[in-house]
Amino acid sequence: MPDLIQISDDLTFALSNAHFAYVFRVSQEGVLEHLHYGGPLSDPLGVPRHPRRMNRHVVPTFQGTPYYSLSDTPQEYSSFGTSDYRFPAFHGQNADGNTVFSLLYETHEIVEVKPPLHGLPSSRGDGSQTLIVTLHDRLHGLRVTLSYTVWADYGVLARSATFENLSDHDIDLRHVFSSALDLPADDYEIQHFHGTWSREFNEERIALPQGRFVADSARGTSSSAHNPYVAILQAGATESFGRCYGTTLVYSGNFAISVEKGEFDDVRVLAGLNPFNFNWRLKPGKIFTTPEALHTFSGRGLGALSHHWHDFIRDRVSPERFRHVPRPTYLNTWEAAYFDIDEDKVLSLAETAKQIGVDMVVLDDGWFDGRQDDTSSLGDWGADPVRFPSGIPALAAKVKAKGLKFGIWVEPEMVNPQSQLYAQHPDWILHVPDRVPSLGRNQLTLDLSRADVQDYLFDSLNAILSCGDVDYVKWDMNRTMTEVGSAALPRKRQQETPHRYMLGLYALLDRLVASYPEVLFENCASGGNRFDLGMLSYMPQGWISDMCDPIGRLAIIGGASHLFPLDVMAAYIGPSPNHQNGRVSSVRTRFLAGAFCAARGVSLGQADIAAHQRELSDWMRFAQDTKADMVGGRFDRVKKTENEVAWQYSSRDGQTIYLTYFHSLSGPNMPARRVYYVGLEPTAAYHHADSKVIYRGDALMQSGLPLPRVSAREVASGVQCMPEGDFSAYLFVLRRI
């Protein structure tokens, strides 16, 4: 493995590979000064030192050092109170009652094995080196360890921070960001993704304003309102042009990514735990570790930035057991029956699943004791004795006997007030004294910071999974947190509850995936309300949105693809008219909107399946034939207008190129349009499956391929047309010869 970390005699540190270079140094005062983050350098230790010591009027200098102010000095990990007025990476209260700390360099080391983060998921360190730099405030006995990991083959830098109290007094941690990135003054834009239920991952780009922009969540989940991802872009950046910096977190709870443009136009990006409603009392001798932050850089636009993320997430974050493993196709019972489900209907749907050629039947909500609707029974994870008299293990065995896989839906983190569990353990919910708890979907949140709650949930799920016939688990979470408090914590530590909840959830998932490594877990939280790298560390795929209308899903998948590979996404053909927005669309369009997701399936009633059985069978056959291609490939956003979207997907071996084209609203006399392929071998020949024409790669990339027309009238022979008018879609398949 090449030398990924270099250190000079004057304590300049350079982390670099073929994709980027990241350089900082120790100043003579002991401050970690950031020097460079960007494209790779032939001599990263020789990066220019931009002068920072100057006479700025009415600007305090650091602890009396002439001409040296932290107010515009790029730093690796900033704190408050010693001449830097920007939002700090760390803020706490010391034994004197004030909030001034000065974290100065103490020591460093390089380790070949990436250290795990205590109680938290993190990226795998194969093929990496880690630089550990220790800072120390000797006055108050606080030691902070910064970890930087760089891989030989990936354009991603991982960062985290660990706090250790070496004093005899408590220290309150208030801001404990995982990373700080200070960028030089320039003309930047912010890209972020906002939304709500069924409208997740809406992309917004805005000019970076003076002041602070914050994408965050205080909902107890990473949230659909703001996904934990922000990119800083060179103004005017496109898919193929511009410097781009992406930041995300391996975390599933309350987070904040803050972008601040200071008084001297410098830019600070902070990523980590949300400081709002957070305080962690660090006792003497104890440590606290932040979640992992991930950064990537591209000098060639948003497309290359996404490719860095996709390669890294599938190889170093998503569970290794399922890396490049084709996903089963499936029939889900939800839209087939909703809560009106029983054993006979499941077995009937299993026969239907065989007829349309899918691999698995998934039993969704409604199977457990007393569950007739969403008002009761969450927490009581035993099969309803009337509707499922044989029990779940026996049902799973019957489905497996038909030659199918079996999957099941659960929502372990929740409880209904109308349940045996709540009647027996009302103190097991998140709550605060003397307040009536708010309800979300008629349910309350269990307090997973408690070991007894974790044990109960593990035992409940173990009773189902131990039969050995459950191949897949859809793990749902249908409400955000309110009245966030824990009966298990003392009064002065209540603000630790949200993070302790996440630590408890991760501990539970650790036990489950270790006990059942072959079970395919799918992450869901009312769709994309907790679609993040923390959950994807345990579950190799996620349900990205409850929006099953294909046109509604285009923006969701397109937005999410800036960070997430389609390997980790699931999609199915839902009903039409759509149950979220009432739109009518074809089976073709409904399938093609999720055609490049690794997990594909159907969720329709028996009558709908019968009415479209031949077409559904054809698309499920296509899904079977292509499922090996839909893991590990390359995804590109090749066209996006208000009315059109085109996506390209290239198989991992580069032999098959798929392109889907979506046309929302048709109109008369539309312009003739084309799409330009990307990433092909210029001199290779590609066979067009429909037209039988053979093209060279450079012709497809430079001249482009004509898109089919949308027309309500007859057209001349040989003119390619879309199959429908509004909400139409077309699939191109090229094979390299």
pLDDT of residue 719: 62
Is 244 annotated in some ligand binding site? no
Is 364 annotated in some ligand binding site? yes
Residue written as tokens 């703001």?
226
Tens digits of residue pLDDT in 275-322: 999 999 999 999 999 999 999 999 999 999 999 999 999 999 999 999
CB 106 within 8 A of CB 143: yes
**Residue 43 DSSP SS3:** coil
Q: Radius of gyration (Cα) for the chain, nearest Å? A: 27
pLDDT of residue 29: 96
Give which of 346, 479, 470, 466 is closest to 411, Cα–Cα.
479
Tens digits of residue pLDDT in 182-241: 999 999 999 999 999 999 999 999 999 999 999 999 999 999 999 999 999 999 999 999
Cα 422 from Cα 405, distance rounded (Å):
33
Cα 536 from Cα 530, distance rounded (Å):
10
DSSP alpha helices (H): ranges in 358-433?
Answer: 392-401, 420-424
Cα 16 from Cα 86, distance rounded (Å):
28
pLDDT of residue 727: 94
Is 640 annotated in some ligand binding site? no
14: amino acid identity, one letter: A
Is 205 annotated in some ligand binding site? no
Cα 125 from Cα 325, distance rounded (Å):
21
Cα 247 from Cα 293, distance rounded (Å):
7
Give which of 449, 451, 478, 382 is closest to 421, Cα–Cα.
382
Cα 606 from Cα 346, distance rounded (Å):
11
**Which tokens sit at 517?**
């490594």
DSSP string, 105-116: EEEEEEESSPPP
**Which tokens sit at 440?**
């979300």
Residue 79's beta-bridge partner residues? 90
Residues serving a catalytic function are 476, 546
Is 381 annotated in some ligand binding site? no
The number of residues in the chain equals: 737
- Give me the helix-helix angle, 343-356 and 392-401, nearest 10°: 30
What phi and psi, each to the nearest 5 degrees, are found at residue 619? -70, -35
Contacts of 77-82 with CB under 8 Å at 24 or more apart are 77/32, 77/103, 77/135, 77/144, 77/146, 77/161, 77/180, 78/180, 78/182, 78/268, 79/103
Residue 541's beta-bridge partner residues? 522
Is the previous residue joined to 577 through a cis bond, with omega within 30 degrees of 0?
yes
**Residue 567 DSSP SS3:** helix
pLDDT of residue 691: 81
Cα 71 from Cα 62, distance rounded (Å):
9
Domains of the chain with CATH codes: 5-317 (2.70.98.60), 321-632 (3.20.20.70), 636-736 (2.60.40.1180)
DSSP string, 570-600: EEEE--SS-TTT-----HHHHHHTTTTSSEE
Q: Which residues of the chain have pLDDT under 70?
A: 51, 711-720, 723-724
Is 478 annotated in some ligand binding site? yes
Percent of the chain with pLDDT over 70: 98
What phi and psi, each to the nearest 5 degrees, are found at residue 626? -110, 0
DSSP string, 139-177: TTTEEEEEEEEEESS-SEEEEEEEEEE-SSS-EEEEEEE
Is 614 annotated in some ligand binding site? no
pLDDT of residue 693: 92
